[in-house]
Chain A
Amino acid sequence: MQFQFVSNDACVQMTGDLTFTDHAVFKAMTDRLFGGGNVSVTMDLAKLEFIDSAGLGMLLLAKDTAEKAGRKLVLRSPGGQVKRMFGLTKFDTLFAVEE
């Protein structure tokens, strides 16, 4: 998985695959995303092509971390296999998901 920050670090665009080999890079990404002063932060998933159960777990833990810090985590534009996995695991009911 690769990522790029936009909007003064309030949004991060993720690309590629988010899988069980991405724990360290995901942690680095969330450190920066949650390290700023933005109350609402967004992960833009439009270019994320694939996610496995480990990637889903990372998103869930990120949501928990954000809420404990008084922040709101929004997931934007999941598509394809990622959107399908969200539906399968009911993640779309747990997160604020923007189409």
Chain B
Amino acid sequence: MPLEGQAATSAASATQGPRLTYWDGASNNSLTSALSPPATQCVEAGLPDECHIGEPRQRIMGHLSLLVTTKSAYRHPISRAFVEAIESRTALSNDLHDRIYTATQEAVMNAVLHGNLRIEGELRDNLEHFVEFHEAIERKLELPEIAGGLIRVDALWNSKMLYVVIRDSGDGYEKADVPLLSDTLTGTPAGSGRGLSILEAICDRVVLLHGGRAIKLGFHI
């Protein structure tokens, strides 16, 4: 079992196989510690073994995986910690860092709100409903079956490309159901609906996978 309050490297890390660490879910600092090299897989402590992460199938130079609950993905800035962990393994320009961080944040937000919490945008489209929106999230996060839903983030890179893949446990969505960025800038101001368009603007490649339950973001490096 992982130690309380700190990352614990598994016995597997002593070999050439996956280097598994556990995050205690307690703080940003402990997440940064759990994601630090030489970890290749970081799993939130307490998740069942069958949830754990397999090895990537393709030949790559580097990879890093993070598996957390919905509650932790909402409570902690996991995107920031994850992108900083990538940067500690492969050099990123400031521009690339900003684009990867922005895109990962967008995709994690979508995975948490629409995927696992299944909260649609209506309450976010009126400032007067923001507190109600916040309270709706908090109520859902009190339900173990929802709070414990999984969010997985993978990064894979070689000398030319870096990919970030974000997966959720939701029902997925169709690209045709997402408004165009130009549509969100006209008519009634909307508090939501820009995420996918922003991804397509800042990523070199965007692919929806598994019926919208996963998204693969590609960047030239």
Residues of chain A whose beta carbon lies under 8 Å from any beta carbon of chain B? 17, 19-21, 23-24, 26-27, 30, 50, 52-54, 56-58, 60-65, 80-81, 84-85, 88-90, 94
Mostly helix, strand, loop or mixed at chain A's interface? helix
| Residues of chain B within 8 A of A84, CB atoms compared | 98
Please count the residue pairs between chain A and chain B whose beta carbons lie under 8 angstroms apart in the complex: 84
Q: Are B195's CB and A53's CB within 8 A?
A: yes
- The reply to whether B194 and A89 form a contact with Cβ atoms under 8 Å apart is yes
In Å, the complex CA distance between A58 and B191 comes to 6
For window 163-202 of chain B, which residues contact chain A by CB distance below 8 Å?
Answer: 181, 185, 189-195, 198, 201-202
Question: How many B residues touch A, CB cutoff 8 Å?
Answer: 32
The reply on B131 being an interface residue by CB < 8 A is yes
A26-B127 Cα distance, complex, nearest whole Å: 9
Given A50-B102, A54-B124, 11 new contacts (CB under 8 A): A17-B80, A20-B112, A23-B133, A27-B130, A53-B192, A54-B191, A57-B193, A60-B191, A61-B189, A81-B98, A89-B194
In this complex, the member of A19, A61, A65 whose beta carbon has the largest number of chain B beta carbons within 10 angstroms is: A61
Q: Nearest Cβ in chain B — how far from A53, in angstroms?
A: 4
Quick check: B194 and A62 within 8 Å, CB to CB?
A: no
Instruction: Quote the shortest CB–CB distance from B217 to chain A (angstroms).
Output: 14
B134 within 8 A of A: yes
Are A30 and B109 neighbours in the complex by a CB distance under 8 Å? no
- Tell me the bound Cα distance from A81 to B190 in angstroms: 21
Q: Which residues of B are found within 8 Å of A30, using beta-carbon distances?
A: 127
A-B residue pairs, 3 tightest by C-beta: A57-B191, A24-B134, A27-B130
